[in-house]
Structure 1
Amino acid sequence: MTSAFDYIIIGAGSAGNVIARRLLDAGHRVALLEAGGQDTNPIIPNLAEAGALWGGPEDWAYQTTEQEGCNGRKLNLPRGKVMGGSHALNAAIWVRGAKQDYDTWNYLGCPGWGWDDVLPVFKAIEAFDGGESELRGADGLLDVVEDFPMNPIQDSILEGAQEMGIERNDDYNSGVVDGVSKMQLNVRNNKRFNTWHAYLKPIADHPNLRIYIGALVRRLLVEDATVVGVEFDYEGQTQTLRAPETVLTAGAIGSPEVLLRSGIGPAEELREVGIDPVHDVPGVGKNLHDHLLSPVIYTTTKREVPASEVGAAETHLFWKSRPDLAVPDTQPIHFALPMYFLDSMSGPDNGFSLVAGIVRPLSRGEITLSGPNPDDPINIDLGALRDQADVDSLVASVRQCRELGSTEALADWGPQEVYPGPEVSDSDEDLEQYVRDTAVTYHHQVGTCKMGLDELAVVDPRTFQVHGLTGLRIADASIMPAVPTGNTNAPAIMIAERAAAHLTGVDIAKAPSQVTAALSSRA
């Protein structure tokens, strides 16, 4: 087979840009297919305005099926459809997760994925403004910034949490997440700085790279248990590309969709929707899970909350809803504006939000096809709040956020609760009703092509290959067997670096001298 490319990469998000860069540095010819456009929207650089991008042209604007655990509501799932992917739409919060997350991956059948294995990779990625240490890296391509001007309401929130007895954690990326912290953000000059900006954009004119903008992948081309290329819509036509290797980095929703439309997945389920299976992989689309949020919103009566210079969210905390837990199960995130997530919500423009969040969900859902045609929508069943333990954690987090809002440290602002509001008591029954009525995504879907060695595992954790297929790798949040304790962007980038190291033989965590050329091109 002859091809103009050595690798086809599907998706120019957090993972795709990393892998493309590393392959180019290693001398390979790369085609990068992105369904969205360039990141020219002037809102994208401004983290504080990220919510204005949701539902717009840069958003896939996915929606779940009716969620029984959320009182029959459909939940919106914003995902990036633009160069930079969801890293162009999110809050750019850099969170590795807890040490135990990766040791659990290792235990669950992903050898070589423990904390001690991934820590050197995280360090090699980072250009951390706090400096290099045993736990942090300062010479990577991606800026991780904690020294940014913070909104004064956030200072009061930090003080209020400590008033409640929550300890200050000066570095939640140390492997121990417990406590309240100022966030670390992917920003440069106080503006969004994602993997497109850090890795690929500086060499976008590389002679071995072709970026296909507005390229919607329809299916993978499979011959004799080998993926040999892709079929995609581009410039009004259906086109094909062939290459010895295809790397799928379309995310926890996009990657399983591509597989299912290609006939790769649970064979019987594919037949039921009119698709001929070409490779039976029972776990494709299964194990879908996500972090969830429920807002506690205040207006202020004594002082107006000023506009943020950098992010809408600049502090958060990790807390155990039950003291016997090994690691925190909640991560409230704090916004310097009222976050009216639902169309049914309204209130004053001035205020702040202490948004309750769960980060160790037990509920699981799945992604399936609704029909055989390329334009038939997918069914996204998040399984949100299906498990009562998730409800209990979210209720505890809402209750804690209400307590935080009434601390002395915030009294000077004159906080007045808008949601849940005085009509919602602090009883378990009232708060359960509230979280089921208001829970929304934390934008952290994972697990739909999980790596591992069990019967529902899709990806080999050592090679990133889909079990039973050659010519196809997956390296994005879909391969996480369980969601980490915290935001998922940093772990997705770590996965991409590890996949690139496997493909190129150059491990940035072990051979920094071999990536000198890459670092020298940093803007």
Structure 2
Amino acid sequence: MSTEINGLAPDEGTGGGYDVVILGGGVAGCVLADRLSEDPDRRVCLVEAGPDHGPEPQEWPERIRNARALPRDEVWERHAPAHRVRARVLGGSSCVNGCWNTWGSEADHAEWVGAGGPRWSAAAMAPFRRRAADRMRLRAVPDQEQSAWSRGAMAAARELGHPEVDMSAPGAPGYGTPLLNAIDGLRWNAAFAYLTDRRSRPNLTILDNVLVDRLSVRAGRVHGVDVLHAGARRTLVADTYVLACGAFGSPAVLLRSGIGPAEHLKSVGVDPEIDLPGVGGNLIDQPGVFIPLAPTAALNASLAGKEAAGDLYVSRMLLRVASPWCQEGAWDLHILPTAGPPLYGSLPPGQYEAGISAFLMKPASRGRVRLRSAGPEAPLEIEPAFLSDPPGRDLAVLRAGLVRAEELAASSPLRELAAPLPGQRFSARPDDELRSRLGTYWHPVGTCAMGGSDDLDAVVDGEARVRGVTNLRIVDASILPTPPASNTQLPVLALAEMLAESMSG
């Protein structure tokens, strides 16, 4: 296996080219690299803009290995607004997220089947979900990782009449715990799971610190991909190209390549090659508001003991609920109780942050991704457009979620651990204040959405093939036309497993 691009001549891949070049070494890219290189006669190249820290987990930076942290070191933009955070390292978001794996509802699959066909049903995707769970070593939350706060939150959910449910499969509203890709504090990221034992394959090349600039598209076919490494420009050539750069990166590569809304392309100096108006549109993320609470001395002491033992995690429990606007049997809100070190800022030793967030899982609002310039290093224009839907349904659903979070906080099990802060209830606060307090779940999807031939904004079909380009696919969260009512890591792993099998057939 090669990890060098030095000496690679322009317009020439190793050995004269590849069968498949995968652009993006995040969660989906790692799955694809493993599955597509299972055929020893298929030459596969995986390209990642960030570093590859090697085959041995113990050689990776401690913050990436630490499942208790949300590292923000190897990202595209430091000190950027929260909604812009995206990983720039082999393994992608699995190296920086909370190691949570949950699944959405049957209603999510119905939306996807309508856009991509029957292979996107819950039953059809189930084997790939199980395969991904096995490879990522997903496991239940160990008892010692449950803090007094998470135990209290589960007791509170029971007191309020919520049923306990399995969070890792299609189901119903209720409370439960996620499956974790973490083992004794080690974050088991996608690079460990899918590449560690595959690096010795002679037909698999991993190129790290290589930035994808643009695809060379002529007459409906990709003829090469221009990349940058250490200031030098090279071209990789393959029979098939797969974009796996995520909900921000994949549309950006298409736009730089002349694939997208023609008027926007012209405005940034890119010659339109294929006018696809949906590229970069339909950006959907899951915003939320955090309700801070005041921990009691007893809760602080208990959390300090957990931290000293190395078992303090800010959250190990989740409640999913349905607003009045939700489909029957589904849910559109995550109520997330957390307690531990603050995500932003710091507190004196022995003091912790406690509270409950309400996250909007099925927003109607739609944002977009656009280029500011045609250069690959230029920051993108990312407009999440949170709570912007004209009818105002998203804001109403969020308020309903805050009411449920306040109910949880007021229950006897949590009231004994933390008290509301003085002031007006969050569910009754003015719109502008709620907007100012918005955070994000970091689950962007939709910017290269799949759809049928009658959907003018669709970018790919149900097999992830890009419209108007015969040898280009997109396999990542950007192709989901609507978000799952879940964390997105497990669904993306499963869709990558599914589409890799389709490509290998």
TM over 0.5: yes
- Which residue matches 1:30? 44
Structure-2 separation of matches of 1:155 and 1:75: 29
Deviation at 1:154, TM superposition (A): 0.8
* Corresponding position of 1:367: 369
Task: List gaps (5 residues or longer) in structure 1.
Answer: 65-73, 128-140, 506-523
- Counterpart position of 1:248: 243
Count matched residues.
470
Is residue 416 of structure 1 aligned with residue 416 of structure 2? no
| Partner amino acid, structure 2, of 1:19 | L
SS in 1 for 2:156: helix
SS in 1 for 2:318: strand
Letter in 1 for 2:140: E
Q: Show structure 1 runs of 4+ deviating over 6 A.
A: 345-348
Identity %: 32
Residues 226-256 of structure 1: CA distance to partner in whole angstroms, max 9, x if unpaired?
Answer: 1122111112311111111111100000000
1:403 to 407, 419, 438: 407
CA distance 1:346–1:284, change in 2 (3 Å)? farther
CA distances 1:343-392 after superposition (whole Å, capped 9, x unpaired) = 7x989941323111110100001111122333433211111110221111
Name 1:112's counterpart in structure 2: 119
Secondary structure of residue in 1 paired with 2:333: coil
TM-fit CA distance, 1:75: 4.9
Of 142, 152, 158, the residue aligned with 1:156 is 152
Partner in structure 1 of residue 76 of structure 2: 60
In 2, the alpha carbon distance for the partners of 1:104 and 1:269 equals 29
Amino acid of the structure 2 residue aligned with 1:503: M
How does 1:87-166 map onto structure 2 within 5 Å? 87-127=94-134, 141-148=135-142, 149=144, 150-166=146-162
Cα contact 2:19–2:239 (8 A) shared by 1: yes
Bigger mean CA deviation after superposition, 378-387 or 182-191: 182-191
**How far off is 1:6 after superposition?**
1.1
Alignment counterpart, residue 18 of structure 1, candidates 21, 31, 36: 31
Q: 2:357 is matched with which residue: 355, 363, 371?
A: 355
Describe how 1:409-448 pairs up with structure 2 within 5 A.
Answer: 409-413=413-417, 415-417=418-420, 421-426=421-426, 428=428, 430=429, 432-448=431-447
The alignment status of 1:77 with 2:81, answered yes or no, reads no
Please list the CA deviations of residues 152-180 of structure 1 after superposition, one character each: whole Å capped at 9, or x if unmatched: 321111101211222222x1223114101
| TM-score, length-scaled by structure 1 | 0.85
Match status 1:47 vs 2:67: yes
Q: What is the distance in 2 between the residues matched to 1:85 and 1:426? A: 34
Structure 2 SS opposite 1:116: helix
Measured in 1, the distance between the counterparts of 2:266 and 2:169 equals 47
**Aligned-pair CA distance for 1:340:** 5.1
In the TM superposition, what whole-angstrom CA distance separates every residue of 1:458-499 from its partner, at most 9, and x where no partner exists? 01113x210110221100000001001111111111111111
Change (3 A) 1:109 1:182: closer
Question: Does the residue aligned with 1:87 lie in a helix, a strand or coil?
Answer: helix
Counterpart CA distance in 1 for 2:96 and 2:337 is 18
* Structure 1 residue 105 displacement after superposition: 1.2
Amino acid at match of 1:335: T
Q: How does 1:247-326 map to 2 (within 5 A)?
A: 247-303=242-298, 304=300, 305=303, 306-307=306-307, 309=311, 311-322=313-324, 325-326=327-328
Q: Structure 1 residue 205 and structure 2 residue 204: aligned?
A: no
Is 1:501 the counterpart of 2:501 in the alignment?
yes
Measured after TM superposition, the shift of residue 416 of structure 1 is 3.0
The normalised TM-score by structure 2 is: 0.88
Alignment CA distance shift 1:449-1:195 (3 Å): same
Q: CA RMSD in A?
A: 2.2
Give the superposition deviation at 1:274. Answer: 1.4
1:330 matched to 2:346:
no
